Amino acid sequence: MKPHIIALDLDGTLLTDDKKISIRNKTVISKLRELGHKVVIATGRPYRASKVYYQELLLDSPMVNFNGAFTHHPTNPTIFESEHTPIDQKTAKAIIETCEAFRVQNIMVEIIDEYYLRYRDKGFEDTFTLGQTPIDYGNLHTLLQEDPTSLLIYPEDNNHKALKDMLHSAHAEVIEQRSWGAPFNVIEIVKSGLSKAVGLKRISDFYQIPKDRIIAFGDEDNDLEMLEYVGCGVAMGNAIDELKAIANEKTVTNEEDGIAVFLEDRFHL
């Protein structure tokens, strides 16, 4: 069989609810790599929060972070040129001002693998920083002196939709925004035109594997473009309805080894 790219979202897809890779998923991924297929992580997470899974799977491929804002090769940057597409600093500061007016619970400004936080919040930090200390806390309008990769905004639950609508109305032409699920209903913002599909296309070109030989798995709205782009887009059993509606195929949930179940059948493992 000709080599395929297997593109994997992390949260709610490859990872169980307790953020682990199951033995069955790991075994299937290892077998496919031995057969010459390329396994690629495509995630909204920064590299610092996805590196452990890349290493656990013993990958040697480029990867997509920040929903396409940063595409790079973690172990061999000389063979694959990194591409970083940040948000314009002026736009970022305008968004921060809007969020301050909404009195959001917290704001994280990320620049590749470093970040600033508006407020100290141990629960928020433990979830999103993996123990890495921020560059600084406080007035982000003053602290931010370069174009950021992404913004993570943690609004009050009752203001989540109103803030999204406001940001869309004011900045729709220059940003993409996505919503994360519980326990933190976070809004993630990257530059307009970016998606996992953009990063995956670069990796597809690098390997010279056409999109009809790409299989991608996802569960959330930041996977929509990726599943539409590839030859076979697979929605997890726990995926949002919008993703299931556009997917070519469906599998069982992330808690039921959905990736392994699908790939075992597809590749007759």
- Count the neighbouring beta carbons within 10 Å of the beta carbon of residue 36: 10
Per-residue model confidence (pLDDT) at position 189: 93
* pLDDT at residue 125, rounded to an integer: 63
Digit-coded pLDDT (tens) for 141-189: 888 999 999 999 988 878 888 888 888 888 888 998 887 665 567 889 9
Q: Distance between CA 223 and CA 234 in Å, rounded? A: 10
- 89-191 to CATH, choices 3.40.50.10490, 3.40.50.1220, 3.30.300.10, 3.30.1240.10: 3.30.1240.10
* Six token digits for residue 6: 């297997």
Q: Which of 9, 11, 219, 223 is catalytic?
A: 9
- pTM (predicted TM-score): 0.91
* Contacts (Cβ under 8 Å, ≥6 apart) of 76: 60
Helix (H, G, I), strand (E, B) or coil at 28: helix
What are the domain boundaries of the chain?
5-84+194-266, 89-191
**Range scoring the smallest mean pLDDT among 36-45, 118-127, 245-254:** 118-127
The question of whether 9 is a catalytic residue gets the answer yes
Where does the pLDDT of residue 75 fall: very low under 50, low under 70, confident under 90, or very high at 90 and above? very high
Q: Name the fold adopted by 5-84+194-266.
A: Rossmann fold (3.40.50)
| Residue 175 vs residues 28, 76, 227: alpha-carbon distances, Å | 37, 30, 21
